[in-house]
Homo-oligomer: A and B are copies of this chain.
Amino acid sequence: MRLDQLSTPSLVLDRRRLLRNIRTMSERAQRAGIDLRPHLKTAKSARVAELATAGHSGGITVSTLAEAEYFFAHGFVDITCAVCMVPDKLERAAALAARGARLTVLTDHGDAARALASRAAVLDARLAVLVEIDSGEHRTGLAWDSDDLLATARVLNESRQLRFAGVLTHAGQSYGCKSVAEIVRVAELERRAVVDAAARLRDAGLSCDRISAGSTPTAVHAQSFDGLTEIRPGVYSFFDLTQATLQSCTVDDIAISVVATVISHHPEHGRLIIDAGGLALSKDLSAAGLLPDTGYGWICDLATCERINDLHVAIADQEHGYVTGRDIPYDRLPIGSRVRVLPNHACMTAAAYNRYAVIDGGEGPLEIIEWWNRVNGW
C-alpha cells in the first residue's frame, strides 16, 4: 500500500527521520557518559522503544500504567512511571512488579510517600521510588532545598517494600522559552536542581542511585550533564512544529505527519477543507503562539512533505480542518487529493491513532513498509 491509498486521516511515521533523530540523541547521551531512558509517552510504540533504547541500559520512561503494562508485555523490564503515584494505582503496579518488572514510581510529598508505603505493605508491592524535584516548572515536585526532601526519602527508606532510588525532575518550562539562550539557562537549572538535591540526600547518608533530568528542549540544548545519571527526553524521536520553534530540530526532522484528503473548496471564503480536524490533529495550538500562519498544523505535499506556500489548518472542527493561506493553489489540490499535515504537538496528535503507517522516507515511491502499533488510554 502507498500513501495515496491510505484511508484518511492516517498517521504516518517517516522511519528515516525517526532513526536520525534517535541516533542524534543517543550519541548525545553517550558522549556525556549518561544513560538515555527515553520517555515513550510520545511514541507509545514498542518498535520505537526498541530503536530508542539501543546502545543504552534498556530502561524506559512512561506516563501511564497502560504504557507500563504494554511495554512490559513487549519485553521491557526496567520501567519508570514518571507521574506521581497514588495508593489506588499501586495494585496494578504491584501486579507488574510481581511478574518481574523492575518498576520505579514517583512521589513528591511525605504524606503521599507514607500512604504509598502503607499500601505497598498491604500488597507486598516491591517498587523503587524516586522523589520528584521541582526545577522551576511548578507542576509537581519538591524544591531541591525543601525540608520535606530528606523526610520523604527517609519515609521511603524505612519501608520494607519500597526502595528510595534517587531524584527526578522535568523542566517543562523549557517549552515556554523564547530563545535558545533561555533554554540553556533552564537546562542548567534543571541539572542543578537534581544534582543539588542528590548532594543533600547523600550528605544526610541517603544513597541516591539515580539522578534523572530531561525534557527534549533541555536535552538538546544543555551545555552540561555533569552529575546526572540519565536523561528522559521523549518527543525528540518524532519532533513537531513546537520543537522546531524551540530550535530542538528543524522542520525537516519532523518524522510524523497526518495524511488527509481535500474534501471541499471554498475560494470565495479563501479556504479549502480537509478531512483532518480536531480529532485527527488534536486541538493543541502550542506552536501557533510562536509561529505565524501555523494554526493546528502545516499543509505539506503528500510525496515530499514540503510545505505548500504558507498553508495551514486555521480552524479545527471535529472532522473538518479549514485550510487557509495567502495563496491557495486549488488546481494543485483538487477535491479528493491528499496532503500531509505536520503537527503542532506530536504527543497529542499521535494519541488519536492506534497505529503508524511507516514509510522509509527516502526518494522512492511512498510505500507503507510496516504498521507499528501504539498503546493509548490508561
Residues of A within 8 A of B (CB): 7-10, 41, 63-65, 83-89, 92, 108-109, 111-112, 115, 138-140, 172, 261-266, 269, 271, 273, 275, 278-280, 282-285, 317-320, 322, 334-336, 347-348, 351-354, 376-378
Contacts and interface: CB of A to CB of B under 8 A. Distances in A.
A125 to B, nearest CB: 15
23 contacts: A7-B65, A7-B89, A7-B378, A10-B378, A41-B318, A83-B263, A83-B319, A83-B320, A84-B335, A86-B262, A86-B275, A86-B335, A86-B336, A88-B336, A111-B334, A111-B335, A112-B335, A139-B317, A140-B320, A278-B348, A282-B283, A283-B285, A351-B352
Nearest to A108: B264
A275 B88 contact: no
Contact of A284 (B115, B283, B335): B283
A139 B348 contact: no
B266 A138 contact: yes
Interface centre among A112, A263, A265 (most CB of B within 10 A): A263
A275 to B, nearest CB: 7
A377 B353 contact: yes
Nearest to A355: B377
A39 to B, nearest CB: 10
Nearest to A271: B138
Across the A-B interface, the 9 shortest Cβ-Cβ residue pairs: A283-B283, A140-B264, A84-B263, A138-B269, A86-B336, A112-B335, A63-B319, A283-B284, A84-B264
A205 to B, nearest CB: 27
For this chain, the copies found in one complex come to 2
Given A92-B7, A317-B172, A84 B273 contact: yes
Contacts of A336: 86-88, 112, 115
Interface centre among A262, A265, A266, A347 (most CB of B within 10 A): A266
A178 B278 CA distance: 23
B64 A319 contact: yes
A320 B271 CA distance: 35
A348 B285 CA distance: 15
A245 to B, nearest CB: 17
Nearest to A92: B7
Nearest to A141: B264
Interface centre among A108, A111, A264 (most CB of B within 10 A): A264
Contacts of A285: 283
A322 B139 contact: yes
Contacts of A92: 7
Contacts of A334: 111
Contacts of A280: 378
Nearest to A235: B318
A347 B8 CA distance: 20
A264 B282 CA distance: 26
Contacts of A115: 335-336
Contacts of A10: 378
A279 B138 contact: no
Nearest to A67: B319
Nearest to A65: B7
Contact of A9 (B278, B317, B378): B378
A8 to B, nearest CB: 7
Contacts of A282: 278, 282-283
A275 B83 contact: yes
Nearest to A353: B377
Given A9-B378, A140-B264, A282-B282, 15 more contacts: A41-B319, A63-B319, A83-B275, A83-B320, A84-B263, A85-B263, A86-B275, A89-B261, A109-B335, A112-B335, A115-B336, A140-B273, A283-B285, A352-B376, A354-B377
